[in-house]
Amino acid sequence: MAQDQHRSARTLETVARACDVIDTLDALGGAGVTEVATELDIAKSSAHAYLNTLREKRFVVKKGHQYHLSLEFLYLGKSVRHRHVLFAHGKSVVDQLASESGEYVHLMAEQHGLERNVYKVAGENAVGDTYHTAKERKTDFLHFTSTGKAVLAHLPESRVRDIVDTHGLLQKTENTITDLETLFEELETVRNRGYAVNDEEEVKGIRAVGAPIRNANGTVLGAISVSGPSSRFTGEYLHKEVPHMVKEAANVTEASINMSDASQSL
């Protein structure tokens, strides 16, 4: 059933289903046994067993007859973030960039071919992140964001093809790049000028500039972006000032990472 493209390593159905239960509880914001059972198309007794086990393991809490994800996830999330390389070396840089630019700043990592924000800060005049505060997930593709394109530009071509095969090229606005040919051209441009521009490709009225963060081997780890209203993001500001700030911030982060890498690898 779960046979993937490459010869699939073994997967445990029970574990996979437990993950589905977690996803379902998140999607529904809590649910009862029957609800979970119908949602995942399994027997009530099975759903009950899954929920009960997750509860005993403290990943789920039960309020009355409703099951919810527990605050354990908040702790795990914090833990993951604090240990992440980009957070460790990028947080202060991002904070500074936000106060310097006054705009919204994102620190992003790629995982499983998707965009994952490690950290984000709103500068004083920040605009435009109210979209996706709640539902930020599932549609976090790489091809319509500045950070995403900055990352894609520095991944091996084969990897980019894999990612597009897996996730497709969803159209979010009329500016979204929706075919592979155009995407590769765009990535070429990104590589040449050293930064990526999101020209209302995800949300109308919002532009962004993103620069990649790479380690000493040239492997891309993520990206930093500055975003704001299209009205403000034009001309010199969009094509000179912002790129300059963003690239600088990315470079500083890279330097910090490479220094600690160098000291560790001895």
Partner DNA sequence: AAAATTGTTTCCCAAATGCGAACAGCTATA
Partner DNA sequence: TATAGCTGTTCGCATTTGGGAAACAATTTT
Binding site for DNA (CB under 7 A): 1, 7, 9-10, 12-15, 17, 32-35, 42-46, 48-52, 62, 65-66
Residue 261: which residues within 8 A CB-CB, separation 6 or more? 215, 216
Q: Which of 39, 95, 129, 136 binds a copy of itself (CB under 8 A)?
A: 136
56 is a site residue for a copy of itself (CB under 8 A): yes
- Closest distance to a copy of itself from the beta carbon of 174 (Å): 28
What distance in Å separates the CA atoms of residue 209 and residue 207, rounded to the nearest whole number? 7
29 is a site residue for a copy of itself (CB under 8 A): yes
Check: CB of residue 227 under 8 Å from CB of residue 238.
Answer: no
- Phi, psi of 221, deg, nearest 5: -105, -25
Buried b (16+ CB within 10 A) or exposed e, 187-213: beebeeeebbbbebbbbeebbbbbbbb
Cβ closest to a copy of itself, residue 108 vs residue 250: 108
44's contact among a copy of itself, DNA, none, with CB below 5 to 8 A by partner kind, is DNA
26 is a site residue for a copy of itself (CB under 8 A): yes
- Closest distance to DNA from the beta carbon of 40 (Å): 9
Judged by CB under 8 A, which stretch of 19-27, 94-102, 165-173, 174-182 contacts a copy of itself? 19-27
Check: CB of residue 163 under 8 Å from CB of residue 156.
Answer: no
73 is a site residue for a copy of itself (CB under 8 A): yes
9 is a site residue for a copy of itself (CB under 8 A): yes
Q: Which of 44, 58, 159, 204 binds a copy of itself (CB under 8 A)?
A: 58
Strands 206-214 and 66-69: unpaired
What distance in Å separates the CA atoms of residue 116 and residue 108, rounded to the nearest whole number? 6
- Phi, psi of 182, deg, nearest 5: -60, -40
Query: Which H or E run contains 221?
Result: strand 220-229
- Closest distance to DNA from the beta carbon of 2 (Å): 9
Check: CB of residue 249 under 8 Å from CB of residue 93.
Answer: yes
**99-128: which residues touch a copy of itself (CB under 8 A)?**
109, 111-112, 114, 116-118
- Closest distance to a copy of itself from the beta carbon of 13 (Å): 8
Q: 209: which strand partners? A: 197, 226
Q: Kindly list the residues in this chain that would bind a copy of itself in the complex (CB under 8 A).
A: 2, 4, 9-12, 14-16, 18-20, 22, 26, 29-30, 48-50, 52-54, 56-59, 61, 68-84, 109, 111-112, 114, 116-118, 133-134, 136-137
